[in-house]
Structure 1
Amino acid sequence: MLFSLVSNGTLLTPQDPQPPVPWWSFTKTVLAATALSLVRDGLIRLDDVLAEGPFTLRQLLRHEAGLADYSELADYHAAVARNEAPWSADEMLQRLDANRLRYAPGEGWRYSNVGYLQVARLIERLTGLSLEQALAQRVFDPLDLPHVRLAKNRADLHGVSMGAAVSYDPGWVYHGLLVGPLDHAALCLDRLLSGAFLPQPLLQDMQTAHVLGGPIAGRPWTSPGYALGLMQGGVASGLLLSGHTGAGPGSVIAVYRSVHAGNAASCAVFLEGSDEGAVESEAMKHLLAQINANR
Protein backbone atom coordinates (compact mmCIF):
# COMPACT_ATOMS: atom_id res chain seq x y z
CA MET A 1 0.00 0.00 0.00
CA LEU A 2 1.26 3.48 -0.92
CA PHE A 3 -0.02 6.82 0.32
CA SER A 4 0.68 10.51 -0.16
CA LEU A 5 -0.49 13.31 2.13
CA VAL A 6 -0.92 17.07 1.68
CA SER A 7 -1.66 19.32 4.67
CA ASN A 8 -2.73 22.95 4.23
CA GLY A 9 -1.19 22.97 0.77
CA THR A 10 2.15 21.37 1.74
CA LEU A 11 3.20 17.91 0.57
CA LEU A 12 4.24 15.94 3.66
CA THR A 13 5.27 12.63 2.14
CA PRO A 14 8.69 12.16 0.52
CA GLN A 15 9.21 13.93 -2.80
CA ASP A 16 11.56 11.28 -4.23
CA PRO A 17 10.58 10.13 -7.74
CA GLN A 18 7.58 7.83 -7.47
CA PRO A 19 6.46 5.16 -9.94
CA PRO A 20 3.31 6.15 -11.82
CA VAL A 21 0.07 4.44 -10.84
CA PRO A 22 -3.27 4.26 -12.66
CA TRP A 23 -5.66 6.93 -11.45
CA TRP A 24 -8.69 4.90 -12.61
CA SER A 25 -11.86 6.89 -11.90
CA PHE A 26 -10.03 9.76 -10.24
CA THR A 27 -9.68 10.64 -13.93
CA LYS A 28 -13.34 11.71 -13.71
CA THR A 29 -12.44 14.43 -11.22
CA VAL A 30 -9.85 15.79 -13.65
CA LEU A 31 -12.33 15.63 -16.55
CA ALA A 32 -14.86 17.51 -14.42
CA ALA A 33 -12.30 20.17 -13.51
CA THR A 34 -11.41 20.58 -17.19
CA ALA A 35 -15.06 20.92 -18.18
CA LEU A 36 -15.66 23.43 -15.38
CA SER A 37 -12.73 25.49 -16.65
CA LEU A 38 -14.69 25.81 -19.90
CA VAL A 39 -17.65 27.10 -17.88
CA ARG A 40 -15.33 29.50 -16.06
CA ASP A 41 -14.07 30.83 -19.39
CA GLY A 42 -17.55 31.31 -20.84
CA LEU A 43 -17.38 28.56 -23.48
CA ILE A 44 -20.41 26.71 -22.08
CA ARG A 45 -22.88 26.93 -19.23
CA LEU A 46 -23.58 24.17 -16.73
CA ASP A 47 -27.27 23.98 -17.57
CA ASP A 48 -27.14 24.32 -21.37
CA VAL A 49 -28.61 21.33 -23.21
CA LEU A 50 -25.70 19.79 -25.11
CA ALA A 51 -25.23 18.72 -28.71
CA GLU A 52 -24.11 15.32 -27.34
CA GLY A 53 -27.63 14.52 -26.12
CA PRO A 54 -30.75 15.80 -24.36
CA PHE A 55 -28.91 16.53 -21.13
CA THR A 56 -26.75 19.22 -19.56
CA LEU A 57 -23.14 19.31 -18.46
CA ARG A 58 -24.25 19.42 -14.83
CA GLN A 59 -26.29 16.25 -15.36
CA LEU A 60 -23.39 14.48 -17.07
CA LEU A 61 -20.91 15.40 -14.35
CA ARG A 62 -23.30 14.31 -11.57
CA HIS A 63 -24.43 11.06 -13.26
CA GLU A 64 -27.98 12.38 -13.69
CA ALA A 65 -28.14 12.29 -17.50
CA GLY A 66 -30.00 8.97 -17.81
CA LEU A 67 -27.13 7.15 -19.52
CA ALA A 68 -26.27 3.49 -18.99
CA ASP A 69 -22.80 2.19 -18.14
CA TYR A 70 -20.75 -0.33 -20.11
CA SER A 71 -19.80 -2.09 -16.88
CA GLU A 72 -23.23 -3.75 -17.05
CA LEU A 73 -22.18 -5.65 -20.21
CA ALA A 74 -21.05 -9.18 -19.39
CA ASP A 75 -19.22 -9.32 -22.74
CA TYR A 76 -17.17 -6.28 -21.70
CA HIS A 77 -15.85 -7.98 -18.56
CA ALA A 78 -15.19 -11.23 -20.44
CA ALA A 79 -13.23 -9.45 -23.17
CA VAL A 80 -11.12 -7.54 -20.62
CA ALA A 81 -10.40 -10.79 -18.75
CA ARG A 82 -9.25 -12.43 -22.00
CA ASN A 83 -6.89 -9.49 -22.71
CA GLU A 84 -8.64 -8.79 -26.00
CA ALA A 85 -8.14 -5.59 -27.96
CA PRO A 86 -10.66 -2.94 -26.89
CA TRP A 87 -13.77 -2.35 -28.96
CA SER A 88 -14.05 1.03 -30.60
CA ALA A 89 -16.11 3.55 -28.65
CA ASP A 90 -18.82 3.42 -31.32
CA GLU A 91 -19.03 -0.38 -31.08
CA MET A 92 -19.28 -0.18 -27.30
CA LEU A 93 -22.09 2.39 -27.53
CA GLN A 94 -23.94 0.22 -30.04
CA ARG A 95 -23.62 -2.89 -27.86
CA LEU A 96 -24.95 -0.87 -24.93
CA ASP A 97 -27.79 0.71 -26.90
CA ALA A 98 -26.48 3.92 -25.42
CA ASN A 99 -28.93 6.17 -27.29
CA ARG A 100 -31.75 4.75 -25.17
CA LEU A 101 -31.90 6.75 -21.95
CA ARG A 102 -32.62 4.73 -18.80
CA TYR A 103 -34.56 7.64 -17.23
CA ALA A 104 -35.33 11.24 -18.13
CA PRO A 105 -32.31 13.49 -17.54
CA GLY A 106 -32.43 15.05 -14.09
CA GLU A 107 -34.99 12.57 -12.77
CA GLY A 108 -32.70 9.84 -11.44
CA TRP A 109 -29.13 8.81 -10.73
CA ARG A 110 -26.98 6.09 -12.26
CA TYR A 111 -23.17 5.90 -12.28
CA SER A 112 -22.09 6.06 -15.90
CA ASN A 113 -18.65 5.87 -17.46
CA VAL A 114 -20.43 6.59 -20.75
CA GLY A 115 -21.45 9.97 -19.36
CA TYR A 116 -17.79 10.82 -18.85
CA LEU A 117 -16.95 9.64 -22.37
CA GLN A 118 -19.42 12.32 -23.46
CA VAL A 119 -17.64 14.83 -21.20
CA ALA A 120 -14.31 13.94 -22.81
CA ARG A 121 -15.79 14.40 -26.29
CA LEU A 122 -17.30 17.72 -25.23
CA ILE A 123 -13.89 18.94 -24.03
CA GLU A 124 -12.31 18.01 -27.35
CA ARG A 125 -15.12 19.68 -29.32
CA LEU A 126 -15.01 22.97 -27.42
CA THR A 127 -11.23 23.28 -27.19
CA GLY A 128 -10.30 21.94 -30.63
CA LEU A 129 -7.56 19.94 -28.89
CA SER A 130 -6.96 16.28 -28.22
CA LEU A 131 -8.10 15.23 -24.77
CA GLU A 132 -4.51 14.84 -23.60
CA GLN A 133 -3.62 18.34 -24.82
CA ALA A 134 -6.71 19.87 -23.22
CA LEU A 135 -6.09 18.23 -19.84
CA ALA A 136 -2.50 19.45 -19.83
CA GLN A 137 -3.37 22.99 -20.94
CA ARG A 138 -6.34 23.48 -18.62
CA VAL A 139 -5.44 21.46 -15.50
CA PHE A 140 -1.96 20.00 -15.24
CA ASP A 141 0.03 23.02 -16.44
CA PRO A 142 -1.87 25.55 -14.26
CA LEU A 143 -1.62 23.25 -11.23
CA ASP A 144 2.10 22.47 -11.86
CA LEU A 145 1.68 18.70 -12.21
CA PRO A 146 4.11 17.79 -15.00
CA HIS A 147 4.26 14.01 -14.61
CA VAL A 148 0.65 13.01 -15.37
CA ARG A 149 -0.25 11.58 -18.76
CA LEU A 150 -3.04 9.83 -20.59
CA ALA A 151 -2.40 6.12 -21.22
CA LYS A 152 -3.83 5.17 -24.60
CA ASN A 153 -2.33 1.73 -25.27
CA ARG A 154 -0.49 -1.10 -23.53
CA ALA A 155 2.90 0.47 -24.25
CA ASP A 156 1.83 3.58 -22.31
CA LEU A 157 1.54 1.43 -19.17
CA HIS A 158 5.19 0.37 -19.27
CA GLY A 159 6.64 1.16 -15.83
CA VAL A 160 3.21 1.81 -14.30
CA SER A 161 2.32 -0.13 -11.14
CA MET A 162 -0.59 -2.24 -12.43
CA GLY A 163 -0.67 -4.99 -9.80
CA ALA A 164 -1.74 -8.27 -11.37
CA ALA A 165 -3.10 -6.56 -14.51
CA VAL A 166 0.21 -6.59 -16.38
CA SER A 167 -1.47 -7.08 -19.78
CA TYR A 168 -4.26 -4.54 -19.34
CA ASP A 169 -5.14 -2.29 -22.29
CA PRO A 170 -6.19 1.23 -21.16
CA GLY A 171 -8.36 1.51 -24.26
CA TRP A 172 -11.03 -0.28 -22.23
CA VAL A 173 -11.45 2.94 -20.18
CA TYR A 174 -13.46 4.89 -22.71
CA HIS A 175 -13.27 8.29 -21.02
CA GLY A 176 -9.48 7.94 -20.74
CA LEU A 177 -7.10 6.61 -18.10
CA LEU A 178 -4.67 8.99 -16.45
CA VAL A 179 -1.48 7.65 -14.89
CA GLY A 180 0.90 9.57 -12.67
CA PRO A 181 2.68 9.65 -9.32
CA LEU A 182 0.51 9.30 -6.25
CA ASP A 183 1.71 12.62 -4.82
CA HIS A 184 0.48 14.33 -8.02
CA ALA A 185 -2.99 12.90 -7.37
CA ALA A 186 -3.07 14.29 -3.83
CA LEU A 187 -1.72 17.66 -4.96
CA CYS A 188 -4.14 17.75 -7.89
CA LEU A 189 -7.20 17.39 -5.67
CA ASP A 190 -5.86 19.79 -3.05
CA ARG A 191 -5.14 22.51 -5.62
CA LEU A 192 -8.44 21.99 -7.43
CA LEU A 193 -10.48 22.46 -4.25
CA SER A 194 -8.36 25.10 -2.52
CA GLY A 195 -10.20 27.98 -4.21
CA ALA A 196 -7.63 29.34 -6.69
CA PHE A 197 -8.49 27.21 -9.73
CA LEU A 198 -12.22 27.93 -9.98
CA PRO A 199 -14.19 31.00 -8.84
CA GLN A 200 -16.05 30.42 -5.59
CA PRO A 201 -19.58 30.05 -7.05
CA LEU A 202 -18.36 27.43 -9.52
CA LEU A 203 -16.36 25.65 -6.83
CA GLN A 204 -19.54 25.54 -4.75
CA ASP A 205 -21.39 24.03 -7.73
CA MET A 206 -18.65 21.41 -8.05
CA GLN A 207 -19.14 20.38 -4.43
CA THR A 208 -22.95 20.31 -4.38
CA ALA A 209 -23.85 16.64 -4.20
CA HIS A 210 -26.76 14.42 -5.13
CA VAL A 211 -27.28 12.53 -1.85
CA LEU A 212 -27.46 8.80 -2.48
CA GLY A 213 -28.63 7.32 0.81
CA GLY A 214 -27.22 5.82 3.97
CA PRO A 215 -24.22 3.67 4.96
CA ILE A 216 -22.57 1.31 2.46
CA ALA A 217 -21.65 -2.12 3.77
CA GLY A 218 -17.90 -2.73 3.92
CA ARG A 219 -17.07 0.90 3.19
CA PRO A 220 -16.65 3.93 5.48
CA TRP A 221 -19.45 6.05 3.98
CA THR A 222 -22.35 7.00 6.27
CA SER A 223 -24.02 9.53 3.91
CA PRO A 224 -22.61 9.06 0.39
CA GLY A 225 -23.31 11.48 -2.41
CA TYR A 226 -22.00 12.47 -5.83
CA ALA A 227 -21.19 16.03 -6.87
CA LEU A 228 -19.59 17.26 -10.12
CA GLY A 229 -16.87 14.70 -10.66
CA LEU A 230 -16.57 14.15 -6.92
CA MET A 231 -17.67 11.38 -4.61
CA GLN A 232 -18.65 13.35 -1.52
CA GLY A 233 -20.21 12.65 1.84
CA GLY A 234 -19.78 11.81 5.49
CA VAL A 235 -17.72 8.87 6.69
CA ALA A 236 -17.60 6.89 9.92
CA SER A 237 -14.92 9.12 11.47
CA GLY A 238 -17.23 12.13 11.23
CA LEU A 239 -15.29 13.84 8.45
CA LEU A 240 -16.84 15.09 5.21
CA LEU A 241 -14.75 13.82 2.30
CA SER A 242 -14.59 15.06 -1.29
CA GLY A 243 -12.64 13.21 -3.96
CA HIS A 244 -12.93 9.97 -5.86
CA THR A 245 -12.28 6.27 -5.56
CA GLY A 246 -11.09 4.38 -8.62
CA ALA A 247 -10.96 0.65 -9.27
CA GLY A 248 -9.68 -1.42 -12.16
CA PRO A 249 -8.14 -4.81 -12.79
CA GLY A 250 -5.31 -5.27 -10.29
CA SER A 251 -5.56 -2.16 -8.13
CA VAL A 252 -7.64 0.53 -6.43
CA ILE A 253 -6.98 4.18 -5.62
CA ALA A 254 -8.69 6.66 -3.28
CA VAL A 255 -8.00 10.41 -3.46
CA TYR A 256 -9.84 12.54 -0.90
CA ARG A 257 -9.75 15.92 0.81
CA SER A 258 -11.32 17.09 4.05
CA VAL A 259 -11.49 20.46 5.78
CA HIS A 260 -12.11 20.87 9.51
CA ALA A 261 -11.86 24.06 11.56
CA GLY A 262 -9.93 25.77 8.78
CA ASN A 263 -7.42 22.95 8.37
CA ALA A 264 -7.36 21.11 5.05
CA ALA A 265 -5.74 17.78 4.28
CA SER A 266 -5.69 15.71 1.10
CA CYS A 267 -4.65 12.08 0.83
CA ALA A 268 -4.10 9.65 -2.04
CA VAL A 269 -3.84 5.91 -1.31
CA PHE A 270 -3.01 3.15 -3.81
CA LEU A 271 -3.52 -0.54 -3.10
CA GLU A 272 -3.04 -3.62 -5.21
CA GLY A 273 -6.14 -5.80 -5.24
CA SER A 274 -9.81 -4.86 -5.44
CA ASP A 275 -10.92 -3.74 -1.96
CA GLU A 276 -12.43 -0.27 -2.39
CA GLY A 277 -13.50 -0.15 1.26
CA ALA A 278 -9.94 -0.79 2.44
CA VAL A 279 -8.40 1.95 0.30
CA GLU A 280 -11.09 4.45 1.31
CA SER A 281 -10.70 3.59 5.00
CA GLU A 282 -6.94 4.04 4.76
CA ALA A 283 -7.38 7.48 3.20
CA MET A 284 -9.88 8.41 5.90
CA LYS A 285 -7.45 7.27 8.61
CA HIS A 286 -4.61 9.45 7.30
CA LEU A 287 -6.88 12.47 6.86
CA LEU A 288 -8.29 12.17 10.36
CA ALA A 289 -4.81 11.83 11.90
CA GLN A 290 -3.52 14.86 10.01
CA ILE A 291 -6.50 17.06 10.84
CA ASN A 292 -6.22 16.10 14.52
CA ALA A 293 -2.49 16.90 14.42
CA ASN A 294 -3.28 20.40 13.05
CA ARG A 295 -5.69 21.30 15.84
Structure 2
Amino acid sequence: MDRDGRCQTDQSGARLFPYWSFTKPVIAALALMLESEKRLDLDAPLDLPELVAGGTLAQLLEHSAGLPDYGTLPAYHADVAAGRTPWPRDLLVARTLAQPAPFPPGEGWRYSNLGYMLAREVIEGAAGRSLAELVQERIAAPLGLENVRLAQTPADFAALHWPEARDYHPGWVYHRTLIGTAGDAARLLHGLRGLLPKAAFARMTACRELGGALPDRPWTRHGYGLGLMCGDWGDTRVFGHSGAGPFSSNAVYHCPETGRTAAAFTHGPFEGPAEQVVAKLVAGR
Protein backbone atom coordinates (compact mmCIF):
# COMPACT_ATOMS: atom_id res chain seq x y z
CA MET A 1 0.00 0.00 0.00
CA ASP A 2 1.51 3.32 -1.02
CA ARG A 3 1.07 6.82 0.41
CA ASP A 4 -2.18 7.22 -1.53
CA GLY A 5 -3.64 4.02 -0.08
CA ARG A 6 -3.14 1.82 -3.13
CA CYS A 7 -2.49 -1.75 -2.09
CA GLN A 8 0.77 -3.38 -3.15
CA THR A 9 0.60 -7.16 -2.59
CA ASP A 10 1.49 -10.45 -4.22
CA GLN A 11 -1.55 -10.18 -6.50
CA SER A 12 -3.28 -13.07 -4.70
CA GLY A 13 -6.74 -11.56 -5.09
CA ALA A 14 -9.39 -12.89 -2.71
CA ARG A 15 -7.59 -16.05 -1.67
CA LEU A 16 -7.43 -16.59 2.09
CA PHE A 17 -4.18 -17.34 3.93
CA PRO A 18 -3.12 -18.01 7.53
CA TYR A 19 -1.39 -14.98 9.03
CA TRP A 20 0.58 -17.04 11.59
CA SER A 21 2.81 -14.68 13.60
CA PHE A 22 1.53 -11.60 11.80
CA THR A 23 -1.15 -11.97 14.49
CA LYS A 24 1.39 -10.71 17.05
CA PRO A 25 1.21 -7.05 15.95
CA VAL A 26 -2.55 -7.18 16.46
CA ILE A 27 -2.18 -8.58 19.98
CA ALA A 28 0.35 -5.86 20.82
CA ALA A 29 -1.85 -3.13 19.32
CA LEU A 30 -4.83 -4.30 21.37
CA ALA A 31 -2.72 -4.17 24.54
CA LEU A 32 -1.68 -0.59 23.73
CA MET A 33 -5.30 0.38 23.08
CA LEU A 34 -6.35 -0.98 26.47
CA GLU A 35 -3.47 0.80 28.17
CA SER A 36 -4.55 4.11 26.61
CA GLU A 37 -7.97 3.48 28.20
CA LYS A 38 -6.34 2.83 31.61
CA ARG A 39 -7.50 -0.80 31.56
CA LEU A 40 -3.97 -2.19 31.44
CA ASP A 41 -0.49 -1.12 32.52
CA LEU A 42 2.10 -2.69 30.26
CA ASP A 43 4.90 -2.04 32.77
CA ALA A 44 3.19 -3.37 35.92
CA PRO A 45 4.43 -6.74 37.23
CA LEU A 46 2.04 -9.55 36.33
CA ASP A 47 0.81 -12.08 38.86
CA LEU A 48 1.01 -15.15 36.64
CA PRO A 49 2.14 -18.60 37.81
CA GLU A 50 3.87 -19.16 34.47
CA LEU A 51 5.96 -16.00 34.74
CA VAL A 52 8.92 -15.26 37.00
CA ALA A 53 8.15 -12.53 39.55
CA GLY A 54 8.61 -9.09 38.08
CA GLY A 55 7.68 -10.01 34.52
CA THR A 56 5.46 -7.51 32.70
CA LEU A 57 3.08 -7.47 29.75
CA ALA A 58 5.51 -5.25 27.83
CA GLN A 59 8.20 -7.89 28.29
CA LEU A 60 5.86 -10.59 26.98
CA LEU A 61 5.12 -8.45 23.92
CA GLU A 62 8.79 -7.71 23.19
CA HIS A 63 10.02 -11.26 23.99
CA SER A 64 12.15 -10.18 26.96
CA ALA A 65 10.19 -11.97 29.73
CA GLY A 66 12.67 -14.85 29.95
CA LEU A 67 10.31 -17.57 28.73
CA PRO A 68 11.24 -20.60 26.60
CA ASP A 69 9.29 -21.40 23.44
CA TYR A 70 7.20 -24.47 22.66
CA GLY A 71 8.54 -24.39 19.09
CA THR A 72 11.69 -26.11 20.38
CA LEU A 73 9.76 -29.18 21.58
CA PRO A 74 10.15 -32.20 19.23
CA ALA A 75 6.93 -33.72 20.57
CA TYR A 76 5.02 -30.58 19.58
CA HIS A 77 6.15 -30.82 15.96
CA ALA A 78 5.58 -34.57 15.87
CA ASP A 79 1.98 -34.23 17.02
CA VAL A 80 1.30 -31.37 14.60
CA ALA A 81 2.70 -33.44 11.72
CA ALA A 82 0.59 -36.42 12.77
CA GLY A 83 -2.60 -34.35 12.69
CA ARG A 84 -3.34 -34.86 16.39
CA THR A 85 -5.60 -32.68 18.51
CA PRO A 86 -3.83 -29.71 20.15
CA TRP A 87 -2.60 -30.30 23.67
CA PRO A 88 -4.62 -28.88 26.55
CA ARG A 89 -3.39 -25.45 27.56
CA ASP A 90 -1.87 -26.54 30.89
CA LEU A 91 -0.03 -29.47 29.30
CA LEU A 92 1.47 -27.12 26.73
CA VAL A 93 2.61 -24.78 29.52
CA ALA A 94 4.08 -27.59 31.62
CA ARG A 95 6.04 -29.06 28.73
CA THR A 96 7.33 -25.68 27.62
CA LEU A 97 8.35 -24.53 31.10
CA ALA A 98 10.15 -27.82 31.73
CA GLN A 99 12.86 -26.29 29.56
CA PRO A 100 15.39 -24.01 31.28
CA ALA A 101 14.49 -20.35 31.57
CA PRO A 102 16.92 -18.49 29.27
CA PHE A 103 17.32 -15.42 31.54
CA PRO A 104 15.49 -13.43 34.24
CA PRO A 105 12.72 -11.08 33.03
CA GLY A 106 14.07 -8.02 31.30
CA GLU A 107 17.65 -9.27 31.05
CA GLY A 108 17.71 -10.67 27.52
CA TRP A 109 15.69 -11.49 24.42
CA ARG A 110 14.23 -14.76 23.20
CA TYR A 111 11.30 -15.29 20.87
CA SER A 112 8.50 -17.04 22.76
CA ASN A 113 5.10 -18.03 21.41
CA LEU A 114 4.22 -19.06 24.97
CA GLY A 115 4.75 -15.44 25.99
CA TYR A 116 2.23 -14.31 23.40
CA MET A 117 -0.29 -16.88 24.59
CA LEU A 118 0.02 -15.39 28.09
CA ALA A 119 -0.26 -11.86 26.65
CA ARG A 120 -3.45 -12.84 24.85
CA GLU A 121 -4.93 -14.18 28.07
CA VAL A 122 -4.04 -11.00 29.98
CA ILE A 123 -5.61 -8.84 27.28
CA GLU A 124 -8.80 -10.93 27.16
CA GLY A 125 -9.08 -10.74 30.95
CA ALA A 126 -8.65 -6.95 31.02
CA ALA A 127 -11.12 -6.38 28.18
CA GLY A 128 -13.66 -8.99 29.24
CA ARG A 129 -13.78 -10.01 25.58
CA SER A 130 -12.29 -12.83 23.54
CA LEU A 131 -9.49 -12.11 21.09
CA ALA A 132 -11.87 -12.95 18.24
CA GLU A 133 -14.32 -10.29 19.46
CA LEU A 134 -11.59 -7.72 20.03
CA VAL A 135 -10.17 -8.24 16.54
CA GLN A 136 -13.56 -7.68 14.94
CA GLU A 137 -14.55 -4.70 17.08
CA ARG A 138 -11.25 -2.83 17.31
CA ILE A 139 -9.26 -3.84 14.21
CA ALA A 140 -11.25 -5.41 11.37
CA ALA A 141 -14.40 -3.28 11.55
CA PRO A 142 -12.68 0.14 11.90
CA LEU A 143 -10.30 -0.68 9.03
CA GLY A 144 -12.95 -2.26 6.81
CA LEU A 145 -11.19 -5.63 6.68
CA GLU A 146 -14.08 -7.86 5.67
CA ASN A 147 -12.05 -11.07 5.31
CA VAL A 148 -9.94 -10.88 8.47
CA ARG A 149 -11.00 -13.07 11.36
CA LEU A 150 -9.53 -15.32 14.01
CA ALA A 151 -9.27 -18.99 13.06
CA GLN A 152 -10.66 -21.13 15.86
CA THR A 153 -11.59 -24.51 14.35
CA PRO A 154 -10.36 -26.80 11.53
CA ALA A 155 -13.36 -25.62 9.53
CA ASP A 156 -11.87 -22.12 9.49
CA PHE A 157 -8.68 -23.50 7.92
CA ALA A 158 -10.59 -25.58 5.38
CA ALA A 159 -11.34 -22.39 3.43
CA LEU A 160 -7.67 -21.42 3.03
CA HIS A 161 -5.70 -21.44 -0.21
CA TRP A 162 -3.10 -24.05 0.72
CA PRO A 163 -4.50 -27.63 0.54
CA GLU A 164 -2.44 -28.67 3.58
CA ALA A 165 -4.52 -26.29 5.71
CA ARG A 166 -7.34 -28.82 5.70
CA ASP A 167 -5.23 -31.15 7.84
CA TYR A 168 -4.14 -28.52 10.38
CA HIS A 169 -5.88 -27.49 13.61
CA PRO A 170 -5.35 -23.77 14.31
CA GLY A 171 -5.43 -24.54 18.04
CA TRP A 172 -1.77 -25.52 17.69
CA VAL A 173 -1.07 -21.77 17.51
CA TYR A 174 -1.62 -21.01 21.18
CA HIS A 175 -1.63 -17.23 20.87
CA ARG A 176 -4.10 -17.83 17.96
CA THR A 177 -3.80 -16.97 14.27
CA LEU A 178 -5.72 -14.62 12.04
CA ILE A 179 -6.72 -15.54 8.52
CA GLY A 180 -7.48 -13.22 5.63
CA THR A 181 -6.34 -12.00 2.23
CA ALA A 182 -2.90 -10.65 1.38
CA GLY A 183 -4.42 -7.26 0.63
CA ASP A 184 -6.12 -7.10 4.01
CA ALA A 185 -2.84 -8.00 5.74
CA ALA A 186 -1.18 -4.98 4.12
CA ARG A 187 -4.16 -2.76 4.94
CA LEU A 188 -4.11 -3.96 8.55
CA LEU A 189 -0.47 -3.05 9.12
CA HIS A 190 -0.85 0.23 7.23
CA GLY A 191 -3.89 1.14 9.35
CA LEU A 192 -2.43 0.55 12.80
CA ARG A 193 -1.02 4.07 13.02
CA GLY A 194 -4.52 5.50 12.75
CA LEU A 195 -5.95 3.16 15.39
CA LEU A 196 -3.38 3.93 18.09
CA PRO A 197 -2.58 7.12 20.00
CA LYS A 198 0.61 8.72 18.68
CA ALA A 199 2.69 7.84 21.75
CA ALA A 200 1.45 4.24 21.71
CA PHE A 201 2.37 3.80 18.05
CA ALA A 202 5.80 5.28 18.71
CA ARG A 203 6.34 2.78 21.52
CA MET A 204 5.18 -0.11 19.35
CA THR A 205 7.62 0.78 16.58
CA ALA A 206 10.62 1.58 18.79
CA CYS A 207 13.20 -0.94 17.61
CA ARG A 208 15.46 -2.88 19.96
CA GLU A 209 18.46 -3.92 17.87
CA LEU A 210 19.25 -7.62 18.07
CA GLY A 211 21.81 -8.32 15.37
CA GLY A 212 22.91 -8.05 11.77
CA ALA A 213 22.27 -10.06 8.64
CA LEU A 214 20.18 -13.25 8.61
CA PRO A 215 21.02 -16.09 6.18
CA ASP A 216 18.92 -16.22 2.99
CA ARG A 217 16.78 -13.30 4.14
CA PRO A 218 16.92 -9.58 3.23
CA TRP A 219 17.79 -8.44 6.76
CA THR A 220 21.07 -6.57 7.13
CA ARG A 221 20.12 -5.38 10.63
CA HIS A 222 17.25 -6.85 12.66
CA GLY A 223 15.45 -6.04 15.87
CA TYR A 224 12.08 -6.15 17.63
CA GLY A 225 9.60 -3.62 19.01
CA LEU A 226 6.25 -4.37 20.66
CA GLY A 227 4.84 -7.09 18.42
CA LEU A 228 6.83 -5.88 15.43
CA MET A 229 9.97 -7.09 13.71
CA CYS A 230 12.06 -4.13 12.59
CA GLY A 231 15.39 -3.11 11.15
CA ASP A 232 17.02 -2.70 7.76
CA TRP A 233 16.83 -4.50 4.44
CA GLY A 234 19.94 -2.98 2.89
CA ASP A 235 19.22 0.75 2.70
CA THR A 236 15.50 0.24 3.35
CA ARG A 237 14.15 0.62 6.90
CA VAL A 238 11.11 -1.55 7.66
CA PHE A 239 8.80 -2.74 10.39
CA GLY A 240 6.12 -5.43 10.32
CA HIS A 241 6.17 -9.17 10.94
CA SER A 242 6.94 -12.43 9.21
CA GLY A 243 5.20 -15.68 10.01
CA ALA A 244 5.47 -19.35 9.23
CA GLY A 245 3.65 -22.60 9.86
CA PRO A 246 4.17 -26.17 8.68
CA PHE A 247 3.09 -25.48 5.09
CA SER A 248 3.26 -21.73 4.40
CA SER A 249 4.95 -18.48 5.33
CA ASN A 250 4.35 -14.77 4.96
CA ALA A 251 5.85 -11.32 5.33
CA VAL A 252 3.95 -8.07 5.93
CA TYR A 253 6.05 -4.89 6.18
CA HIS A 254 5.96 -1.10 5.97
CA CYS A 255 8.80 1.18 4.86
CA PRO A 256 8.54 4.64 6.50
CA GLU A 257 10.76 6.27 3.86
CA THR A 258 8.72 5.19 0.82
CA GLY A 259 5.37 5.02 2.64
CA ARG A 260 4.76 1.62 1.08
CA THR A 261 3.22 -1.40 2.83
CA ALA A 262 3.25 -4.84 1.21
CA ALA A 263 2.35 -8.44 1.99
CA ALA A 264 3.44 -11.71 0.41
CA PHE A 265 2.42 -15.29 1.13
CA THR A 266 4.49 -18.26 -0.05
CA HIS A 267 4.28 -22.04 0.07
CA GLY A 268 6.73 -23.67 2.49
CA PRO A 269 7.76 -23.05 6.10
CA PHE A 270 10.60 -20.53 5.56
CA GLU A 271 9.97 -16.77 5.65
CA GLY A 272 12.88 -15.75 3.42
CA PRO A 273 11.13 -15.98 0.02
CA ALA A 274 8.13 -13.93 1.18
CA GLU A 275 10.45 -11.31 2.71
CA GLN A 276 12.42 -11.06 -0.54
CA VAL A 277 9.21 -10.34 -2.48
CA VAL A 278 8.11 -7.68 0.00
CA ALA A 279 11.58 -6.11 0.09
CA LYS A 280 11.27 -5.24 -3.62
CA LEU A 281 7.71 -3.94 -3.25
CA VAL A 282 8.28 -1.61 -0.28
CA ALA A 283 11.47 -0.23 -1.84
CA GLY A 284 9.56 0.54 -5.04
CA ARG A 285 11.65 -1.73 -7.23
Match of residue 120 from structure 1: 120
Q: SS at the partner of 2:195?
A: coil
Task: Specify the code of the residue in structure 2 equivalent to 1:153.
Answer: T
TM superposition shift of 1:126: 0.5
Match of residue 3 from structure 1: none
Match of 2:240 among 239, 243, 249: 243
Q: Is the 8 A contact 2:244 2:271 kept in 1?
A: yes
Task: Specify the code of the residue in structure 2 equivalent to 1:115.
Answer: G
Residues 1:289 and 2:279 are matched in the alignment? no
Residues 1:254 and 2:251 are matched in the alignment? yes
Call closer, same or farther: CA 1:101–1:275 in 2, change over 3 Å: closer
Q: Is the 8 A contact 1:255 1:269 kept in 2?
A: yes
Distance 1:284 1:88 in 2: 38
Residues 1:205 and 2:203 are matched in the alignment? yes
Residues 1:224 and 2:222 are matched in the alignment? yes
Distance 2:270 2:245 in 1: 11
Q: C-alpha offsets along residues 210-262 of structure 1, whole Å, 9 cap, x if unaligned?
A: 211111111111110010000000112x11110000000111110000021xx
Residues 1:135 and 2:135 are matched in the alignment? yes
Residues 1:234 and 2:229 are matched in the alignment? no
Task: Specify the code of the residue in structure 2 equivalent to 1:20.
Answer: L
Distance 1:165 1:158 in 2: 6
Residues 1:266 and 2:266 are matched in the alignment? no
Match of 2:15 among 14, 19, 22: 19
Q: What is the count of residue pairs matched by the alignment? A: 280
Residues 1:92 and 2:110 are matched in the alignment? no
TM-score normalised according to structure 1 size: 0.90
Distance 2:92 2:162 in 1: 24
Q: Which has the higher helix share?
A: 2
Q: Is the 8 A contact 2:154 2:166 kept in 1?
A: no
Which stretch of structure 1 is more off in the superposition, 242-251 or 46-55?
A: 46-55
Task: Specify the code of the residue in structure 1 equivalent to 2:197.
Answer: P
TM-score normalised according to structure 2 size: 0.93
Runs of at least 5 residues in structure 1 that lack an aligned partner in the other structure = 1-5, 291-295
Runs of at least 5 residues in structure 2 that lack an aligned partner in the other structure = none
TM superposition shift of 1:17: 6.0
TM superposition shift of 1:163: 4.8
Residues 1:187 and 2:183 are matched in the alignment? no
Task: Specify the code of the residue in structure 2 equivalent to 1:24.
Answer: W
Q: Is the 8 A contact 1:212 1:226 kept in 2?
A: yes
Match of residue 28 from structure 1: 24
